[in-house]
Homo-oligomer: A and B are copies of this chain.
Amino acid sequence: MQQVVLKHTLSEKPKAEDFDLVQMPAPTCPEGGVLVQVKYISLDPYVGHLLHKGHMGQTAPEPARGLIPGAVVGEVIESRSDKAGAGDHVHSMDGGWVEVVALTDSQFTVVDTDSVPLSAYAGVLGMPGLTAWAGVTQLARVTDGDVFLVDAAAGPVGGTAGQIARQCGAKTVIGIAGGTEKCRLVEKVYGFDACLDYREAGWREQLGIHAPDGITVHYENVGADMLAFALSHMQPYARVILCGLAAHYHDPEPARILIGPIIGKRASVHGLVVYDFYDRWQAFRDAVAPWVTSGRITICEDRSQGLGEAPALMQKLVNGRNVGKCVVAL
């Protein structure tokens, strides 16, 4: 089978030429587990971060242990598990950039593809969707009348968060994204009330037009500067979800925020780590899948075809040049 590995240790964010496509022996089916043919690999910003800052960045991974991590969806080709049989579709956070993965029972969930396409489990019904749902419904508890702001709004977490907020009753949903194409996507496809283009001069002043009384919920995916902007436009008692620090993943300076505005606005700030919600996959999918089926929640994919395209798509992702959820179809 084929697998993508790093050629060398990275000291900065990954580029396409840092990777090699190699031949590897396929794994065997584990006792009490399954062998899965990977159909879609999800590329996510945290993986770009891990490749050069996390444990993988510290030593050059050898091919034998150089599995680049990632969520996958695929089809069971062999089963020694009671949980799934051959032909079933599964989702796993413990996949990687590879054609075939061996998974134990605790490493996958069986997914329903009757009413939604399989690739949805790489995005809106996968980890990015769970992240969005957890922040909006479990931590911020968005409800009728909320004024919701989210950055990285063209991405799968931000885009899904805004759409879930709308389903939860938010009266105004505003995104922040970079560039005309992303902002058009957020407004026209995701149906936000507005998307502020941070590459345009004067974009900050636009928020007041769409949220004249300030925002009640902010969902942070980017970092300190965006957060400071959001804090300065909060209504009292606003809720803030700290989810991602994408702007700082490739930056040696740690992100900081002003304490004064949190006190002044009596904000509640909640840190979100998605794996806390891995015991709620089913509740999340039960809530969100019907919205996907009915078209009330849409997500755009930035899709590449073939495992060998994963490196180029990762380079696009870590530079913010993707539009929509990055998925590699095998």
Looking at A70-78, A149-157, A196-204, A265-273, the stretch in contact with chain B turns out to be A265-273
Looking at A96-104, A183-191, A252-260, A296-304, the stretch in contact with chain B turns out to be A252-260
Contact assessment for B266 and A273 in the assembled complex, using a CB-CB cutoff below 8 Å? yes
Q: Which residues of B contact A268 (CB under 8 A)?
A: 268-271
A266 to B270, CA, bound (A): 6
* Interface residues as binary, A221-257 with B (CB distance below 8 Å gives 1, 0 otherwise): 0011001000000001000001101001000001111
Contact assessment for B258 and A262 in the assembled complex, using a CB-CB cutoff below 8 Å? no
User: A263: CB under 8 A from chain B?
Assistant: yes
User: A295: CB under 8 A from chain B?
Assistant: no
Residues of A within 8 A of B (CB): 223-224, 227, 236, 242-243, 245, 248, 254-260, 262-273, 276
User: What residue of chain B has the Cβ atom nearest to residue A223's Cβ?
Assistant: B259
What's the nearest-Cβ distance from chain B to residue A284, in Å?
17
What's the nearest-Cβ distance from chain B to residue A298, in Å?
28
Which one of B243, B256, B269 contacts A256 once the chains associate, using CB atoms below 8 Å? B256
A227 to B258, CA, bound (A): 12
User: What residue of chain B has the Cβ atom nearest to residue A259's Cβ?
Assistant: B255
Having A266-B271, A268-B268, one finds 15 other A-B pairs with CB under 8 Å, namely: A223-B259, A224-B259, A242-B262, A245-B263, A248-B260, A254-B259, A255-B259, A256-B256, A257-B257, A262-B269, A266-B272, A266-B276, A267-B271, A268-B271, A269-B270
A255 to B256, CA, bound (A): 10
Given A263-B271, A265-B271, A270-B268, does the pair A256, B254 have CB atoms closer than 8 Å? no
